Amino acid sequence: MLFLEVLTIPKDDPVAFTFFTGYMAMMAASVFFFFERSRMDDKWQLSMLISGLITFIAAVHYYYMRDYYLATGENPTALRYIDWTLTVPLMCVEFYLLTRAAGASKGLMWKLIIASVWMLVFGYIGEAFNPEGGSTSHSVIYGFLSTLGYIYVLYTAWAGEVAQLAKDSKNPAIERSVRILAWFVLVGWAIYPIGYMCMPGGWLNIGLGWDSSGVDLFYNIADAINKIGFGLVVYGLAITETEKAKLAPR
């Protein structure tokens, strides 16, 4: 007779709890975004599809990360970076889609995608391939390279081409939505470099003695807020513009 091992969530393990909660929250958000997509004006349906894909991809990865964590008790670094490498560029695509009507080019979209992938690839090398025990020089070099990609996305959203295009749209709803997404990049994404610096060899690990044992808890909460939040901002803009289009004289 075969016996299947059942993985249970410990009552006193908030990390395991947030893995499961994050999975369910992002799957529920995906269903919501996919169903609401059909209600939107045609020009917003692609944005809603991207929002649903972001949370759906994350939900699938959280399903596997939850099991990995319960089985090993370790940080699912590889799975997490695979998730980010797929979803973060899609989050950057939302900036392009929101400002496309104001003249955003595909060149802008690709620059944002490349910057986000650059950020994640060097972050992964710095975290996953750090010599055993943690090399500060390795962590700093790859952390610096990763930060260059982050700064580009942040600058573009706050003061660069995306911000200017949002202003040029002459649409207060688009300007407001782009600014909210820029706040997500500034504040919501800040947890990821902080977590990186808590890893062995990182500045916070060496200087303040912070370790990576609780990083997953904050990563899980930040992922859910950032990815669902991005989608809800897009949804709010899409539904507002769709209703406005319905009321406009024909």
pLDDT 10s digits, 122-135: 999 998 888 766 67
Residue type, 60: V
pLDDT at 2: 47
pLDDT at 242: 93
What does the pLDDT look like over 174-220, one tens digit per residue? 999 999 999 999 999 988 888 877 776 666 666 555 555 578 888 99
pLDDT at 132: 66
SS3 state of residue 138:
helix
Q: Could you give the number of structural domains in the chain?
A: 1
Lookup result for tokens 């008790």: 73
pLDDT at 215: 81
Q: What is the pLDDT along the chain (250 residues), one digit of tens a residue?
A: 444 455 667 777 888 899 999 999 999 999 999 999 999 999 999 999 999 999 999 999 999 999 999 888 888 999 999 999 999 999 999 999 999 988 999 999 999 999 999 999 999 999 888 876 667 888 889 999 999 999 999 999 999 999 999 999 999 999 999 999 999 999 999 888 888 777 766 666 665 555 555 788 889 999 999 999 999 999 999 999 999 888 777 6
In a domain, 183, yes or no: yes
Q: What is the CA radius of gyration of the chain?
A: 20
In a domain, 184, yes or no: yes
Q: Which domain holds residue 32?
A: 14-247
pLDDT at 1: 45
Task: List Cβ neighbours of 115 (8 Å cut-off, separation of 6 or more).
Answer: 92, 149, 150, 152, 153, 156
CATH assignment at residue 114: 1.20.1070.10
* CA gap 166, 202 in Å, rounded: 37
pLDDT at 203: 61
Chain CA centroid to CA 140, Å = 23
Nearest to 88 by CA among 237, 192, 212: 192
In a domain, 7, yes or no: no
In a domain, 6, yes or no: no
**pTM for the model:** 0.91
DSSP per residue over 139-158, as a string?
Answer: HHHHHHHHHHHHHHHHHHHH
In a domain, 40, yes or no: yes
In a domain, 1, yes or no: no
